[in-house]
Amino acid sequence: MRFVDLIDKKKKGYEHTKEEIQFIIDSLMNGSVEDYQVSAWLMAVYFKGMSLEETANFTKAIIDSGEVIDLSALHEICPHVADKHSTGGVGDKITLILIPLLASCGVPIAKLSGRGLGHTGGTIDKLESIPGFRTDLEIEDLIEKVKNVGLAIGSQTKRLTPADGKLYALRDVTATVDAVPLIASSVVSKKIASGADYVVLDVKYGSGAFLKTAQEAEELANWMVNIADKLGKKFHAVITSMEQPLGRAVGNAVEVIESIDFLKGNMTSDIKELTYEMAALTLVTLNICQNNDEAYNMIDEAISSGSALEFLKRLITSQEGNPLVIDNYRLFAQPKYMRQIFAERDGYVSNVDAYKTAYACKLLGAGREKKTDIIDYSAGVYLNKIYSEHVNKGDVLATLYANDESKLEMAQEFLKTAYTISDYEQSSRALIFKII
């Protein structure tokens, strides 16, 4: 079998056999193929696509290129282990809320998360804004922590799906990142290799998301759910709008604080809608609850009793963070400078553009352009007014935090353009487009 023949085959739009797919991944891993040949094959896939059967075989080969976490030891706690993944959004702190919430409902969670890049934030960056919090866990340590406290969140490890890492590096420099079969196989391979029995996906679309339309998000969601099904795993995909930021906080420490506040019962309606829906899907799918009503009652009880907040505290303590941040937000890194933007007229907030908000946040130092960039955990934005809320002229629309005063002015001007104020009260907008 020659790699050049497989490039030619895909270039002509033919389907690869399972053996050919395995040869492609083996050649990548053993170094017998040149990067320019793999790049040519990726470009052929970009233009000619892959069938579902092909993509499932491709995903399985990527999984088999590294280790697969064995979570069977956790089944003595619960028959099934769950996981959650988001395609990335602005102010997307759902993981920080959902994981301790599910753990408090009896669902063990062993989660691997990533860092932020571009205008979307990363769960690992947010967690590392907690003083002392460690995310560099070995797989064995991750499993042990879940056995002891019911949950753990670590940074992604090269021991899982190493072929995906090699492929992504080439996709990144050949403009083939946005090929749907390649995106789907990348996400699904990492989730299955992480060992969960069930995964709920949050597939976002809109100005603050990688995918811009609901139709694009639905296509990707279908691919991921169907690939997982082919490989014997149960996935749900919740397709959600990212036209506006989730909640009020965008940054790192500010999002952790908003997550803590949520688990204390102080909720914005959008975060509540998405968190409750994803939690209920998980609880019903794993037969912990019989229906959504029962699940919602369990979720309400976990929050009102303080149980979910206690599991967040356990997570922080287990991973060497300072649990006192739960009640003392001054223990987070504090910014030197603060600035506010004000409403220039009376009216109602009809839009807060997610991308512009995220870009302003990145200007403040809370995001990164390259993986090696250092971020400022204390920098961020707090949206004092969000969609549909009434404002009077002079009201504070948003508050910006930074350690570099020169960054504030540019970010302030940019954030002003994110707000649209209208004369009329706004109708409610659906956050969830569809569940697959």
What is the spatial distance between Cα 240 and Cα 201, in angstroms, rounded to a whole number? 10
Question: Which residue matches tokens 């954030």?
Answer: 415
Q: Are strands 337-342 and 396-402 parallel, antiparallel or unpaired?
A: antiparallel
DSSP state of 426: P
State whether residue 200 is helix, strand or coil.
Answer: strand
Q: What is the DSSP string of 66-108?
A: S-----GGGGGT-S--EEEEE---TT--HHHHHHHHHHHTT--
Question: Which residue matches tokens 């899982």?
Answer: 160
Q: What is the DSSP string of 28-72?
A: HHHT-S-HHHHHHHHHHHHHH---HHHHHHHHHHHHTTS-----G
**Which residue, among 40, 48, 194, has the nearest Cα to 110 in the 3D structure?**
194
Active site residues: 85, 164, 171, 186, 190
Q: What is the DSSP string of 293-323?
A: HHHHHHHHHHHHTSHHHHHHHHHHHHTT--G
Q: 161: which 2 tokens?
A: 């799906």
